[in-house]
Copies of this chain bind each other. A is one copy, B any other.
């Protein structure tokens, strides 16, 4: 792949905060961005050259978008395949379809990971309450029932600790195909943000340690509490996933750490919330790294020059902004969302620590 020429246009499917920060990173490398997003006044459109505001099934708009872009990427793994079919005839799309297929379905994802010899929580697709009760018993009476597709930030998930809850849990799935995952008594959750270029080079950022609350990421701290060999293992494991998918771009890998083992929780075929700390800690952040990869430029080195804790600002955390603005060593990132509500990611703050 030859490198994308300066001044070329990068298409981004989805207009949320990840698209916003990708667009800013693309500008640093001299590229323009076009956002495809049905919603108006979306976060990414504020800092992009073009906004194609149209529905995901608007073939004419998708065609115009594909024709106007030199390369296309996405900030959201649930872009409909039909939309990608239209665009893909007009411009290369990175990461490729295989990565999306794997990430869009929890069952496919787990089968892919275990097929690579990586460890995950025990899992099984369950079709009805009877099957759920049976699997639950096998998994020690506990588990998390998840929709196979379209879940994020804890949505489409029910935690079960008794067989009595099986009927209600299946009802909560609303008829969507579901998968039961065994509970993992993990000590900590970490994630690795890694990138792969079109020529196969792989670069991983230092793993971050994540704390969730209510199914939503609250903080990521770097460095994570890991041994040197765990750090290396995490990077190697991410590289293995990237290579198996012939991946181009940045990938997020969430890992459960239990004793000496690391289990893969899930992968995200895009820049990831747990990689936002790189904006303050690295010369090349995850957003620029993704743009470098899909543009066929050399990847940045991934080295970290500062210890950082990233904290998400969710819903009414926004009330804390005046205090954050007065803090030393705090870097605020707001997403420009017009409407605030409980549970909505409104921004994040990166803090120098240590």
Contacts and interface: CB of A to CB of B under 8 A. Distances in A.
Interface string A31-62: 11100000000000111110000000000000
A341 interface: no
A200 interface: no
A333 interface: yes
A244 interface: no
Nearest to A307: B305
Contacts of A280: 283
B7 A32 contact: no
Say how many copies of this protein the assembly contains. 2
Contacts of A45: 49
Contacts of A7: 336, 338
A305 B303 contact: no
Contacts of A32: 46, 336
Interface in A272-326: 280, 283-284, 292, 297-298, 300-301, 303, 305-306, 322, 325-326
Contacts of A48: 46-47
Nearest to A346: B30
A336 B334 CA distance: 24
A350 B283 contact: yes
A11 interface: no
Contact of A333 (B28, B31, B292, B326): B28
Interface residues of A, number: 45
Contact of A331 (B27, B283, B325): B283
Contact of A30 (B33, B284, B322, B335): B335
A30 B283 contact: no
A29 interface: yes
Contact of A329 (B33, B47, B303, B329): B303
A284 B28 contact: no
A11 to B, nearest CB: 14
A313 B330 CA distance: 30
A332 interface: yes
A284 B27 CA distance: 19
Contacts of A303: 328-329
A31 B331 CA distance: 15
Nearest to A292: B325
Given A47-B47, A325-B292, A29 B301 contact: no
A181 to B, nearest CB: 37
B301 A328 contact: yes
Contacts of A23: 47
B325 A298 contact: yes
A347 interface: yes
A347 B28 CA distance: 9
Interface of A: 3, 6-7, 20, 23-24, 27-33, 45-49, 280, 283-284, 292, 297-298, 300-301, 303, 305-306, 322, 325-326, 328-336, 338, 347, 350, 352
16 contacts: A23-B47, A24-B27, A27-B47, A27-B336, A28-B331, A28-B334, A33-B46, A45-B49, A47-B47, A280-B283, A283-B350, A292-B325, A297-B325, A298-B326, A301-B329, A303-B329
